[in-house]
A and B are shown apart, each in its own frame.
Chain A
Amino acid sequence: MAEVRYENASRIYPGTDIPAVESLNLDIPDGELLVLVGPSGSGKSTALRMLAGLEFVDEGSVYINSEDVTLTPPQDRDIAMVFQNYALYPNMTVQANMGFALKQQGVAKPERAERVQEAARILDLEPYLDRKPKNLSGGQRQRVAMGRAIVRRPQVFLMDEPLSNLDAKLRVQTRTELADLQARLGVTTVYVTHDQVEAMTMGHRVAVLKDGILQQVDRPRTLYSRPVNLFVAGFIGSPAMNLVEAEAGGPDGVRLGTLALPLDEQVAHELAAREPGTYTLGVRPEHLQLASEGIAGEVTVVEELGSESYVHVAVEHQGGSLLLVVRAEGETMTQRGDNVQVSCRGPVHVFASNGERIGA
């Protein structure tokens, strides 16, 4: 049972000027699964390793249970970590791998065996306890790495892209199992991934990082519906939000060519008070539809996913061509080369020229 807190925590790698993580402030309540997500080089792994004690904290502090652990070595932090490549001890059996931490703590052999058994039962690893890691499949190795973490009953679980070495199907399955396991054990978990789908499906809250700076931390739904800036808007959601530069501001609302776009009341209110100028509009594909009237364009690609399809439509915009991704029902009749009309049915996000969202 533990809370985790980053307080202005920075990490500057020796030989560089730009911090890998810059004054990170983050509160993670007890039992939460918090996902750190961002593109590569965003500092998400560094932030995790700072909490693990594997990375030096140059400025600020890290707390576990309101105890300052900034300078505590990893051995004494009572945390467990699952590595991207699992880092199983190749010379030890599954049983020894899972029991290694307990052995270091001086837990007696019978209790050790019992706790390893218990974890193995939870993870379906009982038949493999006497095998060496090299004789296991990728999925089994991943579960051993998980087992090694849960056997310890630590204060905090740290997971560094634990699913990225699994194939697509197994990844989706393991994702669910992992989220379920975390909920059952109720251990505070910090989970790093570059996959925003993983972040959205697993995280109680998701923290988006870019260039070492925390952009937004929120529940997945909020992150999706109210991204605080252009980066989060473009990063979260698959396929990505359509982002279009357009003239806006003042009382006239927002238009895309001939199409008037709907706005949230708050957004409309704030936008009306602003100077007219160039703004970036963000429209989710599901808020666009093929309709009998709207902005005209030509279909370039149709992505059929079965239950739904994404239609890429090239429309004319500010004298150039603009590609809009429109979500349509599955088995759409549309095909490449068709002339279609696109209309908008959902609220549009508006971002100022500095990338900040307009209308909180």
Chain B
Amino acid sequence: MEVGKKRAVSFLLGLLSWGVALVFFFPIFWMVLNGFKEEIDANTDPKLVFDPTFDRFDEVTSQTQGLLGFREAFMNSVWAVSISTILVLVLAVPAAYALAIRPVAKWRDVLFFFISTKFLPVVAAILPLWIIARELDLLNTRLVLIILYTAMNLPLAVWMLRSFFSEVPKELIEAAQIDGAKLRGQITSVILPIVAPGLAATALLCVIFAWNEFFLAVQLNPVDGSTIPIWVTSNVSTRGNFLAKLSAASTLATLPVVLAGWLAQKRMIRGLSMGAIK
């Protein structure tokens, strides 16, 4: 009786989670599917069975709808995302060390300062940002996005890495000190390998946020240095509803993030500090 009840509950819960997952996943699934359709199939009654074609992907990658093509936008995104993420990690690792492992005086205030930079809505700051960028001749450059994406992700990365660093057993760092490791050796040989999963998670989030960033890009860099999100919108046409083409473009824009997630996950699932102590 009891066992039967338990089973029924877990079956229902399982069903529910599948249901929720499907509801979430369905739009993505439909988008991917639409990318492989003819425009006519995508815009009429929804069909599951059709002749898949790569034509839409060809179209969106070879033709230039807006101001620049897929290849340029993709490379712009790759540059902005990778350089900003590397910069964020290079700056956040020492900051996290100073906040977690050997806390500086008033480290709580410092930590709060970092997050307080996120209080201001970007919309409220865009005009001064735009003016500064114009004065510095940075409008329509990759550099302006690299700088802003670094600034945008840094507080988050510092917070995340701080909490990962705090979980490094204190004794491990002491053991490294006694073993004669200087600061650099302690960080590179002991701390970083242990926080590697956290580093991967942080990097992944920075990549996702920077890759998907639209507002700053569209305001400060809509022309030469524009990125993938802007390229996707350039496939929204005023001449009609090209749903299949837009779906193909969106699918292409999503793929790199999925790939990054898959790569990072492999690192993240490894135990944080298994076997270090006890």
Contact = CB atoms under 8 A, between A and B. Distances in A.
A and B together in one complex: yes
A74 B273 contact: no
B177 interface: yes
B106 interface: no
A83 B177 contact: no
Chain A interface, DSSP helix/strand/loop, else mixed: loop
Given A87-B276, A89-B276, A134-B274, A54 B193 contact: no
Interface stretch (A98-106, A248-256, A289-297): A98-106
B103 interface: no
B278 A100 contact: no
A101 B180 contact: yes
B178 A133 contact: no
B177 A89 contact: no
Nearest to A104: B180
Interface in A38-80: 52-54, 73-75, 77, 79-80
A165 B185 CA distance: 28
Interface residues of A, number: 33
Contacts of A52: 174, 178
A87 B181 contact: no
B180 A87 contact: no
A83 B174 contact: yes
Kindly list the 6 A-B residue pairs having the minimum CB-CB distance in the complex, ordered from nearest.
Answer: A134-B275, A85-B277, A91-B193, A133-B275, A87-B171, A101-B179
B177 A54 contact: yes
A138 interface: yes
Interface residues of B, number: 25
B236 interface: no
Contact of B174 (A87, A90, A105, A152): A87
A250 B148 CA distance: 89
Interface in A211-251: none
A115 interface: no
Interface in B156-200: 169, 171-172, 174-182, 185, 189-190, 193-194, 196
Interface of A: 52-54, 73-75, 77, 79-81, 83-91, 100-101, 104-105, 132-136, 138, 141, 148, 152, 165
B107 to A, nearest CB: 15
B164 to A, nearest CB: 14
Which of B178, B194, B273 is the most central at the interface, judged by chain A CB atoms within 10 Å of its CB?
B178
Contacts of B271: 134
A74 B174 contact: yes
A74 B183 CA distance: 12
26 contacts: A53-B177, A54-B177, A54-B178, A74-B177, A75-B177, A75-B178, A81-B174, A81-B175, A83-B171, A85-B169, A85-B278, A87-B171, A88-B276, A89-B172, A89-B193, A90-B194, A90-B276, A91-B194, A100-B189, A101-B178, A101-B180, A104-B179, A132-B275, A134-B275, A141-B275, A148-B179
